[in-house]
Amino acid sequence: MMEMGLLVCILAIFATMAMALWRAVRGQSIYDTIVGVNVFGTKTVLLIALITYFTGHDDLIDVALVYALINFLAVVAVLKLVRRRDLAASGERGHD
Amino acid sequence: MTESLLNIASMLMLLAGGAFAIIGGIGLLRFPDVYTRLHAGSITDTLAPLLIVGGLALQSGWSLLTLKLLLILLFLLFTTPTASHATARAAMLAGIRPVTASGHDAGDPNQKEPSSSNT
């Protein structure tokens, strides 16, 4: 019975990831893409956590832990890259 | 008895989390501009991990696995609103204006406030 709940939740997460991916691919602006990728990354963390419980391999949870950190850094780095066209730009004024 | 109660609570939280995730995905597809999509995406991005990680933590009791799950939840609760805020701010600075019902430009600082006589 518990496996059934986990499976339904995994399928719901998969459906959400498909919708987020569709929004990322067909977004009108670059920010739509970033929103879609952000949602996709968060749902990936949840998916890995769910798969950890579904398969019983407890070590997989470390992958989710690392992914949660990398996802945030990736979104912020891409935002800065889009804004400044340069990841090494300083935070001083006068850029726009 | 306690085991089955915990299982039922865990199952309900998992199903609620999955339902919230799907609702957020539908909102992401159907809303008209960046800010409303961000609203749909980021709110469910905060709520669905809370429910799903909570439901998973109920299953394994006090263990190292639960500790790591709670760490994931802590990171997600800090980083998801931060990333959403950064995205909204970057979109606003890039000149994308929110779509409003009246066609009135909500983010334009040069536009005059609507006078109080017509309210």
Residue B116 placed within a domain: no
Q: How many domains are there within chain B?
A: 1
Across the interface, which of B38, B48, B68 has its CB nearest the CB of A61?
B68
Residue B115 placed within a domain: no
- The answer to whether A17 and A40 are in contact (CB under 8 A) is yes
Res B115: pLDDT: 46
Ranges of chain A with pLDDT below 70: 91-96
- The answer to whether B92 and A86 are in contact (CB under 8 A) is no
CA dist list (Å): B21 to A21, B12, B17, B43: 14, 14, 6, 10
Residue A79's Cβ-side half-sphere holds a number of Cα atoms within 13 Å equal to 25
- The answer to whether B54 and B13 are in contact (CB under 8 A) is yes
Res B107: pLDDT: 53
What does pTM read for this prediction? 0.83
Res B119: pLDDT: 41
Q: How does residue B117 score in pLDDT terms, banded at 50, 70 and 90?
A: very low
- Domain region containing B26: 2-95
Residues 6+ apart with CB under 8 A from A45: A64, A67, A68, A71, B49, B72, B76
| Count of CB pairs separated by less than 8 Å, A with B | 149
Q: How far apart are CA A49 and CA A38, in angstroms?
A: 17
Res B109: pLDDT: 52
Res B116: pLDDT: 46
Q: What are the tens digits of pLDDT across the range B11-61?
A: 999 999 999 999 999 999 998 888 999 999 888 889 999 999 999 999 888
Is B111's pLDDT higher than 60?
no
Residue B106 placed within a domain: no
Residues 6+ apart with CB under 8 A from B44: A39, B20, B21, B23, B24, B25, B27
Using CB atoms within 10 Å of the CB of residue A36, give its burial: 0 to 12 exposed, 13 to 18 middle, 19+ buried.
buried
- The answer to whether B17 and B55 are in contact (CB under 8 A) is yes
Nearest CA in chain B to A29: B34
Q: What are the tens digits of pLDDT across the range B74-83?
A: 999 999 999 9
Residue B81's Cβ-side half-sphere holds a number of Cα atoms within 13 Å equal to 7
Q: Write down the residue that tokens 């090494």 correspond to.
A: A88
Could you tell me where the beta strands, DSSP code E, fall in chain A? none
Nearest CA in chain A to B23: A16
CB atoms within 10 A of CB B23: 17
Higher pLDDT, A45 or B96: A45
Is B104's pLDDT higher than 90?
no
Determine the distance in angstroms separating the CA of A68 from the nearest CA of chain B, rounded to an integer: 7
Residue B110 placed within a domain: no
Residue B68 placed within a domain: yes
Residue B79's Cβ-side half-sphere holds a number of Cα atoms within 13 Å equal to 23
Determine the distance in angstroms separating the CA of B6 from the nearest CA of chain A, rounded to an integer: 11
